[in-house]
């Protein structure tokens, strides 16, 4: 598939090519018909779904330990519901360590199931959490990092609106702020969704999309307090064994009063400075609690700091319980309302909570009153089964989250635009994408169904990483636009010149009407001959979209084994490869790239981004990470949630691509194994030496 966003067209074709590779060195290709008696042991031990029996080629590569890893290369149609369901079955049977799909960092939206009947998520995730408005002129004030440790919102962790509102109250409860205002910036192409894993009672997984926010901001205004007119200090019994010097403590109190009276120091600043000085006098960490700040007659109580104390204590918490107190503007969230009747409204969040409780109550007693305890027992068993399914998945990918500096320095390196070439590409490709999407809907499948099925099944069987093995869309788009302009442009210009020239010539010669029309028609026929290679692919995919679901499934079914050298080119779906100039950037180059990415997955050598299985607050999550040490163009630093370390003990990989890509990946497998990271030529915006078939 090709496209900048989740709704861009697919590519599923490959020119006819015979693939005959022999075993070579420590890595070998195994390409045998899956139903042949002499099939390899890997295929013999795996029950390939019937819908994919001609679609699977088995490859072999040594993993990082030198042991053989099996790669199941699967070709699928992007408009087949049957094949998407079969992908789910295959992943469940193989139970691979790694799944690889024909997506890139710019097309993660195709993993989102956005059908109308799917439940919308009320969760988000964010990597940039900004606290702005802090008083930075005095070191006694807390840093943004210290305050971030207090709140629930953390990088990569799903949060709800209620969580964000609770964080506002948490910040107000420090007693430091007059007001705290939350704000969010919508996600950009630099961010990607996360996916929460939900298990049913039968152990099957579904995915909850957690969309990204580009940033979450807490804008704070510092609290204003009355000047400190008098101040005293009391030492708690926890410090009696090694009590600080009383005179030194009294001196700190006297300095606070003088600072407020004579130096014009803000009372809040003076108290925070005193908090730091009390610790210096005590010679050990202490917890300070101020009382009476609203009157200006302050008492400070010193206690020994305990390991269980909050990451940051201002000492003003006692006068800001639940985010309310003197000099504090309480936070009152604006709840969206649902209209129940002409005169009755209810907070939407309250209504959702009531509905959730009703669903839970109904699930607890599915048989009604007559069922007695059976309903409750069945529900408990189902809940236990779902919990057990989740507990069996043990994330084992090593990764590190990005630092604030790495995220701040992240910049997209998109190729420079070329308006004429880009316009030609977009007009043709978007027209093709619409027709292909219509074909998918006619077959009962939405775009990305095979990738979504693979991710769901991977969640069930302990797969650790789902790699996005396609070349970045931005590179493919640039090279496709340039190639199509070079090949299609002269045809379109020539066709227009023929028609316009015939009209001008006829008018200039004052030819009779019949002769004029004949000349124009002859020119139009010649122009059509020039234009047909550009228009024919659109006609073919529209023909596919007009078929019935059964006819579409038959048209895109793989009739001959890909392991026997079948081309994998599908009627209608792959017609765009017939566009002049399209086959190189859309097919041959991407085949080479995906061969390297698949080989890298098996060998433990990073090439591309991946969704990594993680457990966040007890819940399984798929989080987008970049490959540690990979090429910046393919897996850029600072994007996603962090950098992952590829698995080193891979035993099996399921790589799912369009059927047309299979022959090219097979042909390039041996070269890819020699150096999986050798993809520099393929990542250049301009066509280079690496752009052809191997």
Q: Is the dihedral of CA 48, 53, 55, 59 positive or negative?
A: positive
pLDDT band at residue 387 under the 50/70/90 scheme: low
pLDDT value at position 647?
Answer: 92
Let me know whether 430 and 570 are in one domain: yes
- Give domain status of residue 291, yes or no: yes
How far apart (Å, rounded) are the C-alpha atoms in residues 335 and 673?
57
Backbone phi, psi, residue 616, to 5° = -115, 115
Let me know whether 280 and 407 are in one domain: no
How far apart (Å, rounded) are the C-alpha atoms in residues 664 and 18?
10
Helices (H), 292-403: 348-364, 374-392
- Over residues 600-604, mean pLDDT: 94
Neighbour-count burial of 7, counting CB atoms closer than 10 A to its CB (0-12 exposed, 13-18 middle, 19+ buried): middle
What average pLDDT does the structure give for the chain? 80
pLDDT value at position 612?
Answer: 97
Residue 234 has pLDDT above 60, yes or no: yes
Report which of residues 540 and 391 the model is more confident about: 540
Listing DSSP states for 239-305 in one string gives GGGGPPPHHHHHHHHHHHHHHHHTS---HHHHHHHHHHHHHHHHTS-EEEEEE-TTTTEEEEEEEE-
pLDDT value at position 202?
Answer: 86
- Over residues 381-395, mean pLDDT: 63
- Over residues 46-74, mean pLDDT: 93
pLDDT value at position 664?
Answer: 95
- Give domain status of residue 566, yes or no: yes
Let me know whether 450 and 574 are in one domain: yes
Let me know whether 586 and 437 are in one domain: yes
Let me know whether 462 and 604 are in one domain: yes
**Burial per residue of 670-685, b for 16 or more beta-carbon CB atoms within 10 angstroms, e otherwise:** bebbeebbebeebbbb
Task: Tell me which residue range forms the domain holding 424.
Answer: 29-113+398-476+561-691
- Give domain status of residue 451, yes or no: yes
Residue 547 has pLDDT above 70, yes or no: yes
Residue 57 has pLDDT above 90, yes or no: yes
Let me know whether 463 and 568 are in one domain: yes
- Give domain status of residue 596, yes or no: yes
- Give domain status of residue 214, yes or no: no
pLDDT band at residue 386 under the 50/70/90 scheme: low
pLDDT value at position 362?
Answer: 53
How far apart (Å, rounded) are the C-alpha atoms in residues 284 and 245?
13
Q: Please choose, from the candidates 490, 493, 498, 497, the residue with its C-alpha nearest in 3D space to the C-alpha of residue 521.
A: 498
Residue 217 has pLDDT above 50, yes or no: yes
- Give domain status of residue 678, yes or no: yes
Let me know whether 301 and 414 are in one domain: no
Let me know whether 573 and 679 are in one domain: yes
pLDDT value at position 495?
Answer: 39
pLDDT value at position 116?
Answer: 56
Helix axes 81-94, 449-461, angle to 10 degrees: 20
- Most confidently modeled of 260-269, 538-547, 609-618? 609-618
pLDDT of 265-274, one tens digit each?
999 999 999 9
Backbone phi, psi, residue 72, to 5° = -90, 105
pLDDT value at position 348?
Answer: 65
pTM: 0.77
Let me know whether 402 and 310 are in one domain: no
Residue 10 has pLDDT above 50, yes or no: no
Among 94-103, 370-379, 553-562, which is the least confidently predicted range? 370-379
**Burial per residue of 543-577, b for 16 or more beta-carbon CB atoms within 10 angstroms, e otherwise:** ebbebebeebbebbbbeebbbebbbbbbbbbbbbb
**Burial per residue of 403-430, b for 16 or more beta-carbon CB atoms within 10 angstroms, e otherwise:** eeeebeebeeebbeeeeebbebbeebbe
Let me know whether 289 and 429 are in one domain: no
Residue 377 has pLDDT above 90, yes or no: no
How far apart (Å, rounded) are the C-alpha atoms in residues 360 and 383?
11
Residue 1 has pLDDT above 90, yes or no: no
pLDDT value at position 233?
Answer: 96
Residue 686 has pLDDT above 50, yes or no: yes
- Give domain status of residue 626, yes or no: yes
How far apart (Å, rounded) are the C-alpha atoms in residues 46 and 218?
53
Let me know whether 307 and 424 are in one domain: no
3-state class (DSSP) for residue 341 = strand
| Contact criterion met (CB below 8 Å) for 247 and 161 | no
Residue 661 has pLDDT above 60, yes or no: yes
- Give domain status of residue 83, yes or no: yes
Question: End of a domain among 283, 300, 315?
Answer: 315
pLDDT value at position 445?
Answer: 87
- Over residues 342-369, mean pLDDT: 58
CB count within 10 Å of CB 245 equals: 11
Among 57-61, 346-350, 460-464, which is the least confidently predicted range? 346-350
- Over residues 142-170, mean pLDDT: 92
- Most confidently modeled of 317-321, 522-526, 544-548? 317-321
Report which of residues 101 and 428 the model is more confident about: 101
Backbone phi, psi, residue 238, to 5° = -65, -15
The number of distinct structural domains making up the chain is: 2
Report, in angstroms and rounded to the nearest whole number, the Rg of the chain calculated over CA atoms. 32
pLDDT value at position 599?
Answer: 96
Report which of residues 217 and 566 the model is more confident about: 217
Let me know whether 441 and 566 are in one domain: yes
Question: End of a domain among 315, 336, 367?
Answer: 315
Question: End of a domain among 315, 338, 355?
Answer: 315
């Amino acid at each position: 598939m090709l496209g900048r966003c989740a709704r861009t067209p697919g590519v599923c074709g490959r020119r006819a090519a015979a693939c005959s590779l022999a075993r070579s060195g420590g890595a070998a290709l195994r390409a045998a018909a899956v139903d042949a008696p002499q099939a390899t042991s890997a295929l013999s031990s795996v029950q390939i779904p019937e819908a994919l029996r001609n679609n699977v080629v088995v490859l072999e590569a040594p993993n990082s330990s030198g042991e053989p890893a099996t790669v199941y290369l699967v070709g699928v149609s992007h408009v087949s519901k049957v094949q998407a369901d079969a992908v789910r079955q295959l992943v469940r049977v193989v139970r691979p360590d790694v799944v690889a799909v024909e997506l890139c960092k710019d097309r993660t939206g195709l993993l989102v199931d956005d059908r109308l009947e799917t439940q919308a998520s009320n969760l988000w995730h964010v990597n940039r959490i900004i606290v702005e408005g802090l008083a930075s002129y005095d070191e006694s004030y807390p840093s943004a990092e210290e305050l971030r440790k207090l709140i629930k919102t953390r990088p990569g962790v799903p949060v709800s609106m209620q969580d964000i509102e609770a964080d506002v109250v948490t910040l107000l409860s420090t007693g430091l702020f007059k007001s705290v205002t939350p704000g969010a910036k919508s996600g950009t192409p630099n961010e990607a969704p996360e996916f929460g894993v939900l298990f049913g009672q039968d152990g099957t997984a579904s995915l909850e999309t957690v969309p990204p926010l580009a940033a979450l901001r807490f804008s704070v205004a510092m609290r204003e307090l009355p000047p400190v007119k008098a101040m005293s200090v009391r030492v708690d019994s926890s410090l009696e064994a090694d009590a600080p010097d009383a005179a030194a403590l009294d001196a700190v109190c006297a300095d606070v009063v003088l600072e407020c009276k004579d130096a014009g120091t803000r009372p809040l600043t003076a108290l925070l400075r005193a908090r730091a000085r009390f610790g210096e006098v005590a010679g050990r960490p202490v917890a300070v609690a101020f009382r009476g700040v609203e009157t200006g007659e302050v008492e400070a109580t010193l206690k020994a700091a305990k390991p269980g104390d909050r990451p940051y204590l201002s000492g003003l918490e006692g006068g800001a319980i639940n985010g309310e107190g003197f000099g504090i503007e309480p936070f009152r969230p604006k709840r969206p309302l649902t209209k129940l009747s002409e005169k009755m409204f209810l907070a939407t969040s309250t209504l959702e909570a009531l509905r959730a409780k009703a669903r839970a109550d109904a699930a607890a007693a599915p048989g009604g009153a007559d069922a007695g305890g059976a309903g409750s027992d069945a529900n408990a068993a189902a809940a236990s089964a779902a919990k057990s399914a989740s507990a069996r998945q043990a994330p084992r990918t090593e990764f590190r989250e990005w630092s604030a500096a790495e995220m701040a320095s992240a910049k997209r390196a998109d190729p420079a635009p070329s308006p004429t070439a880009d316009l030609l590409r977009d007009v043709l490709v978007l027209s093709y994408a619409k027709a292909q999407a219509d074909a998918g809907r006619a077959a009962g499948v939405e775009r990305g169904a095979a990738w979504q099925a693979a991710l769901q099944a991977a969640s069930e069987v302990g797969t650790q990483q789902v790699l996005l093995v396609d070349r970045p869309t931005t590179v493919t788009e640039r090279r496709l636009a340039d190639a199509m302009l070079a090949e299609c442009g002269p045809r379109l210009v020539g066709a227009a010149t023929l028609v316009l020239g015939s009209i001008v010539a006829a008018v200039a010669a004052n030819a009779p009407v019949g002769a004029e029309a004949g000349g124009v028609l002859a020119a139009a026929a010649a122009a059509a001959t020039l234009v047909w290679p550009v228009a024919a692919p659109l006609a073919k995919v529209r023909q596919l979209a007009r078929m019935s679901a059964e006819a579409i499934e038959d048209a895109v079914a793989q009739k001959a084994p890909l392991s026997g050298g079948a081309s994998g080119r599908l009627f209608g779906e792959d017609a765009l490869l017939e566009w002049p100039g399209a086959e190189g950037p859309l097919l041959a180059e991407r085949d080479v790239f995906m061969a390297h990415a698949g080989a890298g997955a098996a060998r433990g050598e990073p090439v591309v981004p991946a969704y990594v299985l993680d457990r966040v607050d007890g819940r399984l999550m798929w989080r987008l990470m970049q490959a540690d040490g990979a090429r910046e163009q393919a897996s850029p630093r600072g994007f996603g949630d962090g950098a992952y370390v590829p698995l080193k003990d891979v035993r099996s990989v399921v790589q799912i691509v369009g059927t047309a890509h299979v022959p090219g990946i097979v042909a390039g497998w041996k070269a890819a194994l020699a150096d999986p990271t050798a993809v520099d030529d393929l990542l250049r915006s301009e066509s280079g030496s690496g752009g052809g078939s191997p």
